[in-house]
Chains A and B, each alone.
Chain A
Amino acid sequence: MDWYPLWNSVRIAAISCVLVFFIGIFAAYYVARLPRLIKGLLDVALTLPLVLPPTVTGYFLLILLGTKRPLGSFLLEHGVKFVMNWYGGILAAAVVAFPLMYRTARGAFESFDVTLAYSGQTLGLSNTYIFWRIRMPYCRQGILAGTVLAFARALGEYGATSMLIGYTPGRTATISTTVYQLWRTNDNIGALRWVLVNLVISTAVLLAVNLLERKNSGEVRR
């Protein structure tokens, strides 16, 4: 059995998850502090990939990055080609998973007791310290939940990925595109095998999160 799709899926999901973690948190942090009108507009724009069909998101990505488009051809001149390359999958997965991280992180930040930040400031703590050592631990649960959701979504991404990088065995194949291809070519056993692999990974991730949660809550709260 060729394990390439597993390796490819995991690296795409992991890298896009890290990207989404940081970008999502900072977007959530800054958007939460904007004036109401701009906040509403940005909120719609940033959440759109959640409600758009992933193929539509993929279509937009192709329009932006297609090798005949301005940005796509510019990148190609510098040796970067997202279309039909495995790292294009990172972009597709990140765009689709981003709203999950952004939304949950924003919800967590909005529940944060701002007097904690204020008291930190009056004690002379830097804003960076307050952010990483007080705000983030306080919002830990929401952020963790957002990260897990984003990872799971990235791992299961199909629509935008297949539009942008297609399916080339050994080059761009991911678990979800492989399942579809094997099923389409009447390889039921092969498809089932990858379905099981996917189930195992997802279950393991969720279990790990639950364990982590229990440990954390035991430490801080009685």
Chain B
Amino acid sequence: MLSVNIEKRLGKFRLQVAFEAAEGVTGILGASGCGKSMTLRCIAGIEKPDKGSIVLNGQTLFDSDQGIDLPPQKRRVGYLFQNYALFPNMTVKKNILCGLRGEKDSVKRQEALQHVMKLLQLEELENHHPSQISGGQAQRVALARILVNCPRLLMLDEPFSALDSHLREHLQIEMKLLLEKYGGTVLMVTHSRNEAYHLCDRIAPMDVGVFLALKPTKALFADPGTIVAAAVTGCKNIAAATKAGEYEVEVPEWGLRLTTGQPVREDVCAVSIRAHYFGVKTVQNRFPIYQTDEMEEPFEWIIRFRFNGQKERTPDIWWRLPKDCRPQKMPEELGVSPSDILLLYSK
């Protein structure tokens, strides 16, 4: 159990973060530069927050009021860096042994080393230097080095960003199994909604310097609830909206009135429709459109269009559809099921 409540200023940037993470994988999902890594650094003790407290499993790691600031060495927090930070002058084996320097009994040390090398399939690489192994192998070595140290908290900072894209999905599966074996509290920082969706049990979307409410992963994607959460979970089509009826919103930018599946609260500020949710045959919320642009992907089409009554200088609407579902002729109208209209609030 990790509980964090900290503030830090860096020039104009202000980080103000408060959350609690229980066992399992908690994701921090946000755009680059919003302070995700800074949060991890504060927890690890590499950066010092201006004020607040950090408590891990009942032990205070940092508390500005009590004057507690444990050095990183005493925090027992595993930190997987974006570039894995393997020591280039040491072999794989020596790198892993660095995580075992606290263990004085040489027999136990060897046992732990063999165990973790087997767990992460590193036996054949033990005498290689970091410059001689691939990105995926480097990630496994870095994880081995951290896990062998028995951290009380595991933090992953963009764990797949240094890898080729074709390796990523494969390694995400391995990582998922490994994290299940680890079983403790894991914090994972990422800007990729796919990685977050695959690996995290809960996600805290992050705006510039602040955390939004932590939600279970599936609930967050199904109903982001705020504009920032909608944006970080990949909603493309977001527009300001006002309440027009109990199940109706007015969207001036698009020049439409939409029927919603959920009752609309007074303080609704925007709506969003995911790019996959438009239907050729859907009868509800059906409006005339015209196509402006299209982009071909390996298995999908991205079609950009505008509603007939849409205001000028507003962004085009994105529509994603599988290739085999593309109609012969671009439809003149598209519909959206009311339950697919996501209502967004400021809080």
List A residues at the B interface (Cβ < 8 Å). Answer: 113, 115-116, 118-126, 129, 133-134, 137-138, 220-222
Q: List 21 A-B contacts (CB under 8 A).
A: A115-B85, A118-B46, A118-B72, A119-B79, A120-B87, A121-B46, A121-B71, A122-B73, A122-B75, A122-B77, A122-B146, A123-B99, A123-B145, A124-B99, A124-B101, A125-B73, A133-B87, A138-B89, A220-B89, A221-B131, A222-B131
B219 at the interface (CB under 8 A from A): no
A-B contact count (CB 8 A): 68
CB distance from B170 to the nearest CB of A (A): 24
Per the bound structure, the CA–CA distance linking A124 and B77 in Å amounts to: 9
Interface of A, secondary structure class, is: helix
Residues in B77-113 with C-beta less than 8 Å from chain A? 77-79, 81-83, 85, 87-89, 98-99, 101-102
Per the bound structure, the CA–CA distance linking A18 and B45 in Å amounts to: 35
Beyond A122-B72, A124-B101, whether A222 also contacts B132 by CB under 8 A is: yes
Q: Which residues of B contact A115 (CB under 8 A)?
A: 81-83, 85
| CB-contact partner of A116 in B85, B145, B149, under 8 A | B85
Per the bound structure, the CA–CA distance linking A137 and B87 in Å amounts to: 10
B193 at the interface (CB under 8 A from A): no
CB distance from B37 to the nearest CB of A (A): 10
- Determine if B85 and A125 form an interchain contact, defined as CB atoms under 8 angstroms apart: no
B304 at the interface (CB under 8 A from A): no
Interface size on B, residues (CB 8 A): 30
Per the bound structure, the CA–CA distance linking A133 and B101 in Å amounts to: 13
Beyond A124-B101, A124-B102, A125-B98, whether A119 also contacts B85 by CB under 8 A is: yes
B138 at the interface (CB under 8 A from A): no
Residues in B113-164 with C-beta less than 8 Å from chain A? 129, 131-132, 142, 145-146, 149
Per the bound structure, the CA–CA distance linking A134 and B86 in Å amounts to: 10
B76 at the interface (CB under 8 A from A): yes
B44 at the interface (CB under 8 A from A): yes
Most buried by B among A116, A129, A222: A116
- Determine if B88 and A122 form an interchain contact, defined as CB atoms under 8 angstroms apart: no
- Determine if A121 and B89 form an interchain contact, defined as CB atoms under 8 angstroms apart: no
B96 nearest CB neighbor, chain A only:
A123
Q: Which residues of A contact B129 (CB under 8 A)?
A: 220-221
B131 nearest CB neighbor, chain A only:
A221
Per the bound structure, the CA–CA distance linking A124 and B81 in Å amounts to: 15
CB distance from A36 to the nearest CB of B (A): 14
Residues in B45-68 with C-beta less than 8 Å from chain A? 45-46
- Determine if A121 and B81 form an interchain contact, defined as CB atoms under 8 angstroms apart: no
Per the bound structure, the CA–CA distance linking A120 and B90 in Å amounts to: 13
Most buried by A among B76, B77, B87: B87
Per the bound structure, the CA–CA distance linking A119 and B73 in Å amounts to: 10
| CB-contact partner of A126 in B73, B88, B132, under 8 A | B73
CB distance from B31 to the nearest CB of A (A): 21
Most buried by A among B76, B79, B145, B149: B79
Per the bound structure, the CA–CA distance linking A133 and B73 in Å amounts to: 16
* Additional A-B contact list (15), CB under 8 Å, known A118-B46, A138-B89, A222-B132: A113-B83, A113-B85, A115-B81, A120-B87, A121-B46, A122-B72, A122-B79, A123-B101, A123-B145, A124-B149, A125-B98, A125-B101, A220-B89, A220-B131, A222-B131
